[in-house]
A = this chain, B = another copy of it.
Amino acid sequence: MAVSEVYILGGYQTDFARNWTKESKHFSALMRESVLGGLEATGIAPEEVESAHVGNFAAELYCMQGHLGAFFTEVHPAFSGLPTGRHEAACASGSIALLAASAEIEAGRYGLQAVVGIEQMKTVDSGTGGTYLGTAAWYEDEAEGIEAPFPKLFGRLGDEYDKRYGLNDDHLAEISRLNYDNAKLNPNAQTRTWYMNKEHALCRTDDNPAIGGRVRISDCSQVTDGAVCMFLANAEYAEKYAKGMGKKLEDIPRLKGWGHNTARLRFDDKIAESRSAEYVLPHVRSTITSAMKRAGIADVNGIDGIETHDCFTTSEYMAIDHFGITAPGESWKAVEEGWLEIDGKHPINASGGLIGAGHPVGATGVRQLLDGYKQVTETAGDYQIEGAKNIQTLNIGGSGTTSCSFIIGR
């Protein structure tokens, strides 16, 4: 039996502006809406699904619940007995679930898989939530007893850029502004009705407090509840599916390439390791380029749009040069030239990214791929990148620790 290609049939994203705790809804309700929404969006019958993978970071802490794959079987009577599992790599959990599902398709184990990325985070106050997020770092060394550990770690990523190449906060403010602007075009974005502009992002008063060194509130993605369900299929199922919609197999987007690497866990160890490297986070760079290589794409000029991990403005600043849009350390050029705008040369986060669209941790990698799907099928509505053929994602867990990247195209 030959290794199969992996086709992407679409899916569904919950409205990331919702607070499921305020609605008195359990984790299972969030799962349910994403899966039933995905079935409706794709026209797939529940009986066709053969297996399900769940990406989630820390429901044990936020929701006092584990064994998360099993909640998939609760969505519909047809799902009783389906093979399920949960996958975790902190904020890259959604992508780890996608990697596991796509490997099983390539291996010929299943023809049609569901992948759900999910996180319900608004169950606790922000201090407690910050502590929970600390378990994505080396908790004892980098988070215990520290307020807002992750803003501090990504503040230090900015400091490292500053030290090696110089960094102007003005460029970070522009990154924030662009993500908030794009989010206004996305009907599922958490911040679509929020107020933010560059002046506000640059504001250095109590309105916009520094919470992690140079990282201010306006530099951060927000605490978000959300779930995304997508369906992946082998060529045989995808062909049948295409035919049913009066289309050809070539019309269905494929997972053209993927990359996956894990750097050492502590931020200090990563930085020590990259001291003499070209890139600040060389393993992130290698994830991006190995996805390109697998897709047969030479460099970022073959990519029509990027959905990147911008848990903080500093992570997007890092992504810009790591994608090769500029030389290392010159990400500011792309910001100044307007290349990152939806109609620019290298659009980043047309969806609004994590800062604008929201960051329900375990859902993010799946949300990025769904937005890539929307772009290459020209169904992204107001945030459509004109003529997008190939979209690349970058999903990062921890302080640049686990990185995953996918390229979706036709």
Residues of A within 8 A of B (CB): 1-3, 26, 57-58, 60-61, 64-74, 80-90, 96, 99-100, 103-104, 106-109, 132, 135-140, 144, 260-265, 273, 282-283, 286, 397-398, 401-402
Contact = CB atoms under 8 A, between A and B. Distances in A.
B89 A88 contact: no
Contacts of A81: 261-263, 282-283, 286
B69 A58 contact: no
A135 B71 CA distance: 12
Given A3-B1, A60-B61, A104-B103, A66 B88 contact: yes
How many copies of this chain does the complex contain? 2
A103 B97 CA distance: 13
B264 A73 contact: yes
A193 B1 CA distance: 50
A137 B68 CA distance: 10
B26 A140 contact: yes
Q: For A103, A139, A264, which residue has the most chain B Cβ atoms within 10 angstroms?
A: A103
A379 B300 CA distance: 52
Contacts of A106: 103, 106-109
B84 A262 contact: yes
Contacts of A139: 64-65
Given A64-B144, A81-B261, 8 more contacts: A66-B90, A67-B136, A67-B402, A70-B265, A80-B273, A80-B283, A85-B99, A107-B107
Nearest to A106: B107
B109 A265 contact: no
Given A3-B107, A67-B398, A265-B74, A87 B89 contact: no
A26 B106 CA distance: 37
Contact of A100 (B84, B103, B265, B282): B103
25 contacts: A1-B3, A2-B2, A3-B107, A57-B66, A58-B60, A60-B60, A60-B132, A61-B61, A66-B88, A66-B136, A67-B90, A67-B265, A67-B402, A69-B89, A69-B262, A70-B90, A73-B264, A83-B260, A83-B261, A85-B89, A85-B96, A86-B87, A103-B103, A103-B106, A103-B109
A274 to B, nearest CB: 10
A82 B87 CA distance: 17
A67 B57 CA distance: 8
Given A2-B2, A100-B100, A104-B103, A402 B85 contact: yes
Contacts of A144: 64
A69 B103 CA distance: 18
A81 B67 CA distance: 28
Contacts of A88: 66-69, 85-88
A81 B26 CA distance: 37
Contacts of A74: 264-265
Given A60-B135, A67-B398, A85 B86 contact: no
Contact of A67 (B26, B65, B137): B137
Contacts of A273: 80
Contacts of A104: 99, 103, 107
Q: Which 4 A-B pairs have the closest CB atoms?
A: A106-B107, A83-B260, A66-B135, A67-B90
A85 B60 contact: no
Given A139-B65, A264-B73, A87 B84 contact: no
Contacts of A402: 67, 69-70, 84-85
A262 B135 CA distance: 28
A393 to B, nearest CB: 16
Contact of A65 (B57, B83, B135, B286): B135
Nearest to A131: B64
Contacts of A397: 67, 70
Nearest to A68: B88
Nearest to A261: B81
A52 B363 CA distance: 22
